[in-house]
């Protein structure tokens, strides 16, 4: 596999790899490093890439595994946490409301168990199909659907509680 063919194969899903890495590692710098490492590993094994039915799913699995290894490593305590704000070109009030809502959802997602967090990210943010998520996470579709349902329910309940200010 030549460089041009490799780039046309892997570059379309670079942003998805970054978003997954950022979801798991929080830091944008750490996420960029993770994606770079995954691309390096993919480049080293570029001859075997033709054998993969879905190179994107394979790369997502590699990214997930690399990030989880990174979090488990001794250096995990030294990782820098960076929060990014989302840019909107609407009026200031609407912009603040949207940022607060998105930040709230993402902060609620951070409280979810690791598996539910990844499934919610892959399905609702990255728009992967259930079969692809099952392949990436080495699970079955039914388990993915159940975990996604539980994650969404937890997020929904937390949002309702937040917006009702705890009054029910």
Tens digit of pLDDT for each residue in 7-44?
A: 888 888 899 999 988 888 888 888 899 999 999 898 88
Q: List the one residue out of 156, 153, 123, 154 whose CA is nearest residue 141.
A: 123
The answer to whether 154 and 78 have CB atoms below 8 angstroms apart is: no
Considering the chain, tell me which residue range(s) the CATH 1.10.10.10 domain(s) occupy.
90-168
- Collapsing DSSP to helix, strand or coil, 32 comes out as helix
Residue 165 has pLDDT above 80, yes or no: no
| Cα–Cα dist 31/74, whole Å | 17
| Residue 35: Cβ within 10 Å count | 23
Q: DSSP 3-state helix, strand, coil percentages of the chain (rounded to 5)?
A: 75, 0, 25
Q: pTM score, two decimals?
A: 0.53
Tokens coding 127: 């728009």
pLDDT score recorded for residue 7 = 82
CATH code of domain 90-168: 1.10.10.10
Considering the chain, tell me which residue range(s) the CATH 1.10.1740.10 domain(s) occupy.
1-82
Instruction: Outline where DSSP puts E strands in the chain.
Output: none
CATH fold for domain 1-82: Rna Polymerase Sigma Factor; Chain: A (1.10.1740)
pLDDT digits (tens, 9 = 90+) for 64-108: 888 888 888 745 455 544 444 444 344 666 666 666 777 778 888
The answer to whether 27 and 76 have CB atoms below 8 angstroms apart is: no
């Amino acid at each position: 596999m030549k460089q041009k063919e490799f780039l046309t194969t892997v570059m379309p899903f670079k942003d998805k790899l970054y978003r997954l890495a950022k979801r798991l590692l929080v830091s944008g710098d750490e996420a960029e490093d993770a994606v770079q490492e995954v691309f390096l590993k993919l480049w080293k094994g570029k001859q075997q890439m033709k054998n993969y039915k879905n190179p994107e799913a394979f790369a997502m699995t590699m990214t997930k595994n690399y990030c989880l290894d990174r979090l488990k490593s001794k250096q995990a305590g030294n990782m820098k946490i960076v929060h990014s704000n989302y840019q909107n070109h609407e009026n200031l009030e609407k912009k603040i409301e949207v940022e607060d809502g998105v930040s709230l959802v993402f902060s609620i997602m951070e409280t979810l168990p690791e598996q539910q967090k990844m499934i919610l990210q892959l399905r609702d943010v990255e728009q992967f199909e259930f079969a692809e998520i099952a392949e990436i996470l080495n699970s079955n579709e039914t388990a993915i659907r159940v975990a996604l349902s539980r994650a969404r329910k937890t997020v929904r309940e937390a949002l309702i509680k937040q917006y009702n200010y705890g009054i029910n």
